[in-house]
A and B are shown apart, each in its own frame.
Chain A
């Protein structure tokens, strides 16, 4: 199985400041079809997860443009340009290059 390792595991950010989360894969997430299947989800407290980004850098419908994704191969990053109070929660990366889909351990983002 592909292992996704997120760093840091927790992050405390001042509102208005940027934040960055890394997701490193044990194998390349570049599929034979040429696409890279890396996703980001946010689970707000007491809620189910919600999709933020798909295929590395595509924002899902309704996701603010302060969120951006980048990376290739095995190294990926989710960036929040200016953290807001509503961004608190646990962020997970996930792949779908092969079965099983696996998630990173999660990164908890808190507001200072």
Chain B
């Protein structure tokens, strides 16, 4: 069974940092591209970042470019999101989502981890 489990969320002050982790199981992690998607409280979905299976290709939303860094460790079946210079508008549930084979995108999602940026 495919499982994605996020961790690392919490309360942080504006300007602070957090590192989110997503632990994957139930599939050959190194073969799949991965993403982070966020959802502010009561709002819609926003794609945040993408990393290819090998880690060689990375994309970011403009809203986080220069502040967030996505990475992965295929030996540990995990993908990470380092978030620096956090702002109130980064407050959201952060989901880890897998891209499936071919053009099937976001076929599996984790349950999410809440990040709250507030003083």
- List the interface of chain A (C-beta within 8 A of B): 1, 35, 37, 39, 41, 43, 48-51, 54-55, 60, 90, 92, 94, 96, 99-106
Contact = CB atoms under 8 A, between A and B. Distances in A.
B104 A60 contact: yes
B59 A48 contact: no
Interface residues of B, number: 19
Interface string B101-119: 0011111011110000000
Contact of B106 (A1, A35, A39, A90): A39
Contacts of B59: 99-100
15 contacts: A37-B103, A43-B45, A48-B109, A51-B104, A51-B107, A54-B105, A60-B107, A90-B44, A94-B45, A94-B47, A94-B106, A96-B105, A100-B62, A103-B44, A103-B45
Q: Mostly helix, strand, loop or mixed at chain B's interface? A: loop
